[in-house]
């Protein structure tokens, strides 16, 4: 009688995976379509939930029968394969979320140690006006002897969900690639490679009372000042960030490998913030929505201390926001009724103090000594 064992199948909590970004450093930038050797990096392990969405288009052959068949046709082929994958997990200061977010932004600053010899490095992620030239290699096990590897993938969209005090914030990233390798023997990164990967710092973020959301009105005329604490801190229940860089793989006859995805629409994003109660507020009100007030804002999450240096830190900051919808305030509960605001994420016309660019940015202080996106 056959046994009921699982063979070489893997439990979800035993599956190994990895991710790292490409380098554009001249004179030998990493070529698109060629997977990175993840074992060459000291911090390439990834912890995540992965949901593939692989699609293809059927080649349309003529339906006129050649005779002698029952009419179902005798040929079938698919082309124009597209490989999308959703990667989701708890947000961490250096658990792979940081590397994925860096690829999405496309530009990263050189790391700066904040406290000499303590290994607390500050990284600033920002958007470039140019198309993102960096890609990442994503690979994960599907059994004890099989892997799926996306040699060159781009992050198309990212969702950052800050659910509330006492909760772990989550991210969801959608990646798109034009090729995949399903043969562990042919992949750059096989099972043994993925099993050898490690994390330098695995601490995940936890939202606490100390998590700070700051916001204030801005004019974008060169007179704005930086956000300050505690003056600009506003208590919130939760927040959610959605940003998208729409990508499309347009099939081309290149004489070789299929081309990579290109930006198919303008970049877009929203910030939604939920408040416990509606009260008179000189910054966030129906009057401000009607007046078309602009805002600058940031959200900061901190973790444990790095040696005797700075705390592990993540900041997402916005130089310019616009209320695109009226405040959502419904009187449906006999007690205090909460309300929410949804902002459109914008670029500022002027450089706002506290920012390094005129677009949204993300900041990490962690233990990674290397630049996220070498150029």
Distance, CA of 300 to CA of 134 (rounded, Å): 26
User: Three-state DSSP class for 118?
Assistant: coil
What is the mean pLDDT of the segment spanning 241-251? Answer: 84
Q: Which residues partner with 79 through β-bridges?
A: 57
Is the sign of the CA dihedral 361, 364, 369, 370 positive or negative?
Answer: negative
Query: What percent of the chain lies above the pLDDT cut of 90?
Result: 63
Q: Are 71 and 175 in contact (CB under 8 A)?
A: no
Q: Indicate the pLDDT class of residue 258, thresholds 50, 70 and 90.
A: low
Confidence check: pLDDT of 307 > 90? yes
pLDDT of the residue at 2:
46
Query: What percent of the chain lies above the pLDDT cut of 70?
Result: 91
- Tell me the chain's radius of gyration from C-alpha atoms: 24
Q: Indicate the pLDDT class of residue 8, thresholds 50, 70 and 90.
A: confident
Distance, CA of 318 to CA of 73 (rounded, Å): 56
What are the helix (H) ranges across 61-165? Answer: 97-105
Confidence check: pLDDT of 167 > 80? yes
Q: Is 103 left (phi over 0), alpha (psi -120 to 50) or beta?
A: alpha
* Tens-place pLDDT, residues 102-154: 999 999 999 999 999 999 999 999 998 776 778 999 999 998 889 999 999 99
Residue 13 CB contacts under 8 Å (≥ 6 apart), including other chains: none
pTM of the entire predicted model? 0.90
Q: Indicate the pLDDT class of residue 7, thresholds 50, 70 and 90.
A: low
Q: Which residues partner with 213 through β-bridges?
A: 299
What is the mean pLDDT of the segment spanning 246-269? Answer: 74
315 secondary structure, DSSP code = E
Backbone angles phi, psi at 106, to 5 degrees: 95, -15
Q: Indicate the pLDDT class of residue 180, thresholds 50, 70 and 90.
A: very high
């Amino acid at each position: 009688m056959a046994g009921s064992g699982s063979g070489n199948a893997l439990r979800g909590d035993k599956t190994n995976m990895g991710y790292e970004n490409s380098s554009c450093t001249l004179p030998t930038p990493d070529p698109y379509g060629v997977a990175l050797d993840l074992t060459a990096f000291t911090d390439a392990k990834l912890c995540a939930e992965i949901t593939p969405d692989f699609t293809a288009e059927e080649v349309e052959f003529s339906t006129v029968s050649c005779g002698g068949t029952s009419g179902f046709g005798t040929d079938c082929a698919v082309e124009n394969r597209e490989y999308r994958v959703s990667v989701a997990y708890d947000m961490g200061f250096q658990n792979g979320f940081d590397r994925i977010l860096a690829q999405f932004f496309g530009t990263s600053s050189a790391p700066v140690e904040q406290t000499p010899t303590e290994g607390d490095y500050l990284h600033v992620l920002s958007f470039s006006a140019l198309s993102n030239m960096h890609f990442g290699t994503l690979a994960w096990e599907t059994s004890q002897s099989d892997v799926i590897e996306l040699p060159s993938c781009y992050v198309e969209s990212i969702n950052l969900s800050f659910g509330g005090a006492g909760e772990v914030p989550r991210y969801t990233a959608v990646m798109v690639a034009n090729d995949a390798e399903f043969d562990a023997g042919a992949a750059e990164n096989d099972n043994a490679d993925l099993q050898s990967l490690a994390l330098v710092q695995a601490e995940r973020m936890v939202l606490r009372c100390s998590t700070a959301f700051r916001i204030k009105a801005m004019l974008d005329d060169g007179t704005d000042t930086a956000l300050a604490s505690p003056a600009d801190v506003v208590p919130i229940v939760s927040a959610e960030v959605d940003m998208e860089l729409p990508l499309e793989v347009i099939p081309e006859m290149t004489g070789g490998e299929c081309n990579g995805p290109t930006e198919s629409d303008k970049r877009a994003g929203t910030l939604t913030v939920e408040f416990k109660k509606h009260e008179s507020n000189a910054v966030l009100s129906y009057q401000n929505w009607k007046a078309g007030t602009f805002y600058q804002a940031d959200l900061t999450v901190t973790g444990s201390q790095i040696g005797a240096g700075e705390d592990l830190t993540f900041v997402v900051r916005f130089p310019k926001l616009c209320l695109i919808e009226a405040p959502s305030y419904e009187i449906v509960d006999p007690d205090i009724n909460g309300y929410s605001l949804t902002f459109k994420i914008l670029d500022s016309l002027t450089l706002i103090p506290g920012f390094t660019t005129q677009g949204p940015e993300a900041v990490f202080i962690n233990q990674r000594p290397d630049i996220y996106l070498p150029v």
